[in-house]
């Protein structure tokens, strides 16, 4: 019998607390394809962040003077100039709670040998990475988001294709259910997030299940469920219905909410397969 | 119920053994997923072991190349259309190396069927 198919692309997303530096560097918590849908390839301090398929964004949790690299002058979300609090140096390196900084400096951070560890340098001259202009001195009240911005076909986003940026299509007859999972994190734009796991019959035929993890705006679980119902009963059989996709140019495609609007009605910030 | 047929053998005499030619019902499909930049797998409930999968690998152009970055997405659409096809014959040929039949976005050479 015929059934609609759902197409699900990958967008890696890792949201983690800041780490106070030791000897001028701070290694963020380890992430993996299974936990974040993302495994960054080696990035040395000579590799421009514009060459990568992901971005690293810092959100200040509290006010600390003289902690942000002087290259960073504008808030990543609002575009506004960072505040100048009038301390003695009058630079915009004074961090205020809620300030959002994309770490764009070439020497801002390193990524290990596909080991899921990003190391951020602080904003002092000493140390191996992070300089006065590009570093970020974090506290544990800060938040760092590592967000995939393109499919994996860029140097910094996975050395091998493998499971990176994989795409999946499932028959909707194999959809087992949607399970909310505690998440309790906030996106860099201030949006509170929830997590929902979509369960499908496993493609390995073993009687287990594949889990697609969706990180989305808090409170959207009912709409997500209605969206799955809409796709299951859409009557489209000659192609797969895109739930989410991210292409090599960074273009995102959404099913939308229950009306299948094609917009990001669910507020998806990350989506990846955690169990196969 | 409609059926799908695949054959990865180029000569008549080599068809018929394990890992060569396969007919399966459209409701046996478990899913379609990326393998790497140039191959995508169609996974089907195992015929020899129902607690395992049979694997149909479809080769395509390089999805990491700018000119062909949509090829895998389009191939998945091709496969879904074939799986859901209302064929009057009762079956649809997904690909057939002997008769040079393939999906529009597929590369026939190297496309395989493997029984688990």
* B96 pLDDT more than 60: yes
Question: Which contacts qualify for A248-254: CB closer than 8 Å, 24 or more apart?
Answer: A248/A150, A248/A151, A248/A153, A248/A154, A248/B64, A248/B66, A248/B69, A249/A150, A249/B69, A250/A149, A250/A150, A252/A11, A253/A9
What pLDDT does A86 receive?
56
What DSSP state is assigned to residue A241? E
In this structure, is residue A133 part of a structural domain? no
Taking residues A246-259, what's their average pLDDT? 94
What pLDDT does A110 receive?
93
What pLDDT does A82 receive?
86
What pLDDT does A164 receive?
61
Query: A-B interface: how many C-beta pairs under 8 angstroms?
Result: 106
Do A171 and B31 lie within an 8 Å CB cutoff? Answer: yes
A39/A15: higher pLDDT: A15
Spatial strand order of the sheet with B21-25 comes to: B21-25, B3-7, B91-96
In this structure, is residue A117 part of a structural domain? no
**Residue A198: which pLDDT band, with cuts at 50, 70 and 90?**
very high
In this predicted model, what pLDDT tens digit does every residue of A137-188 receive, in sequence order?
A: 999 999 999 999 988 755 444 444 445 678 899 999 999 999 999 999 999 9
Do A2 and B70 lie within an 8 Å CB cutoff? Answer: no
Residue numbers in A near B66 (CB within 8 A): 248
Among B77, B110, B84, B73, CA closest to B95: B110
Residue numbers in A near B53 (CB within 8 A): 203-206
CB neighbours of residue A133 within 10 Å: 15
The predicted model scores a pTM of: 0.93
In this structure, is residue A246 part of a structural domain? yes
DSSP output for A175-235: EEEEEEEEEEEE-TTS-EEEEEEEEEE-TT-SS-EEEEEEEEETT-HHHHHHHHHHHHTS-
Q: Inform me whether the C-beta atom of residue B62 falls under 8 Å from chain A C-beta atoms.
A: no
* A108 pLDDT more than 60: yes
* A65 pLDDT more than 60: yes
- Cβ atoms of residues A202 and A209 within 8 Å: yes
What pLDDT does A120 receive?
95
Taking residues B12-26, what's their average pLDDT? 87
In this structure, is residue A222 part of a structural domain? yes
**Residue A132: which pLDDT band, with cuts at 50, 70 and 90?**
confident
**Residue B65: which pLDDT band, with cuts at 50, 70 and 90?**
confident
Interface confidence, given as ipTM, is 0.96
What pLDDT does A200 receive?
97
Range of the domain at A179: 5-11+163-275
In this structure, is residue A112 part of a structural domain? no
Taking residues A196-206, what's their average pLDDT? 94
Number of domains in chain A: 1
Do B81 and A239 lie within an 8 Å CB cutoff? Answer: yes
Residue numbers in B near A174 (CB within 8 A): 30-31
Taking residues A41-68, what's their average pLDDT? 89
In angstroms, the CA A78 to CA A82 distance is 10
For chain A positions 236-255, those within 8 Å of chain B (CB to CB) are 237-240, 245, 247-249
Residue numbers in A near B63 (CB within 8 A): 153
In angstroms, the CA A218 to CA A200 distance is 23
In this structure, is residue A192 part of a structural domain? yes
Distance in Å, alpha carbon of B25 to nearest chain A alpha carbon: 9
Distance in Å, alpha carbon of A230 to nearest chain B alpha carbon: 18
Do B52 and A153 lie within an 8 Å CB cutoff? Answer: no
What pLDDT does A51 receive?
79
Do A248 and B53 lie within an 8 Å CB cutoff? Answer: no
- Cβ atoms of residues B22 and B48 within 8 Å: no
* A85 pLDDT more than 70: no
Taking residues B89-106, what's their average pLDDT? 95
Of A3-7, A220-224, B26-30, B87-91, which range is least confident? B87-91
Taking residues B86-101, what's their average pLDDT? 94
**Residue B18: which pLDDT band, with cuts at 50, 70 and 90?**
confident
In this structure, is residue A167 part of a structural domain? yes
- What's the Rg (C-alpha) of chain A? 20
Name the range with the highest mean pLDDT among A73-82, A201-210, A237-246, B62-71: A237-246
In this structure, is residue A263 part of a structural domain? yes
């Amino acid at each position: 019998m015929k059934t609609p198919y759902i197409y699900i692309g990958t967008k890696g997303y890792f949201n983690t607390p800041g780490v106070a530096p030791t000897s001028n560097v701070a290694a963020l918590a380890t992430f993996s394809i299974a936990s974040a849908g993302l495994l960054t390839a080696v990035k040395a301090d000579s590799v421009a962040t514009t060459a990568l398929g992901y971005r690293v964004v810092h959100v200040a949790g509290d006010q600390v003077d003289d902690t942000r690299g002087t290259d960073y002058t504008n808030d990543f979300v609002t575009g506004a100039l960072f505040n100048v609090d009038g301390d003695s140096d009058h630079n915009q390196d004074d961090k205020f709670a809620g300030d959002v900084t994309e770490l764009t400096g070439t020497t801002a951070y390193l990524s290990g040998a596909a080991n899921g560890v990003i190391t951020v340098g602080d904003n002092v001259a000493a140390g191996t990475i992070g300089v006065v202009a590009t570093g970020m001195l974090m506290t544990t009240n800060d938040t760092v988001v590592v967000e995939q911005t393109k499919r994996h076909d860029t140097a910094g986003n996975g050395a091998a294709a493998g499971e990176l940026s994989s795409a999946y299509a499932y028959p909707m007859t194999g959809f087992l259910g949607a399970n909310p999972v505690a998440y309790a994190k906030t996106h860099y734009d201030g949006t509170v997030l929830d997590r929902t796991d979509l369960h499908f019959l496993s493609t390995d035929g073993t009687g287990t299940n594949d889990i697609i993890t969706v990180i989305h705006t808090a409170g959207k679980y009912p709409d997500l469920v209605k969206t799955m119902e809409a796709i299951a009963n859409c009557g489209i059989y000659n192609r797969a219905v895109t739930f989410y996709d991210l292409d090599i140019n960074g273009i995102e495609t959404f099913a939308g909410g229950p009306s299948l609007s094609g917009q990001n009605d669910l507020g998806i910030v990350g989506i990846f397969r955690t169990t196969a | 119920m409609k059926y799908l047929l695949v054959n990865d053998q180029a000569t008549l005499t080599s068809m018929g053994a394990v890992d060569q030619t396969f007919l399966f019902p459209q409701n046996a499909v478990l899913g379609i997923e990326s393998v790497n930049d140039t191959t995508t797998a169609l996974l089907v409930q195992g015929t020899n072991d129902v607690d395992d999968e049979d694997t149909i690998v479809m080769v395509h152009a390089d999805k990491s190349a700018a000119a062909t970055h949509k090829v895998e997405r389009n191939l998945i659409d091709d496969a879904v259309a074939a799986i859901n096809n209302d064929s009057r014959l009762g079956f649809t040929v997904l690909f057939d190396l002997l008769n040079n039949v393939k999906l529009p976005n597929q590369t026939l050479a190297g496309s395989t069927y493997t029984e688990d």
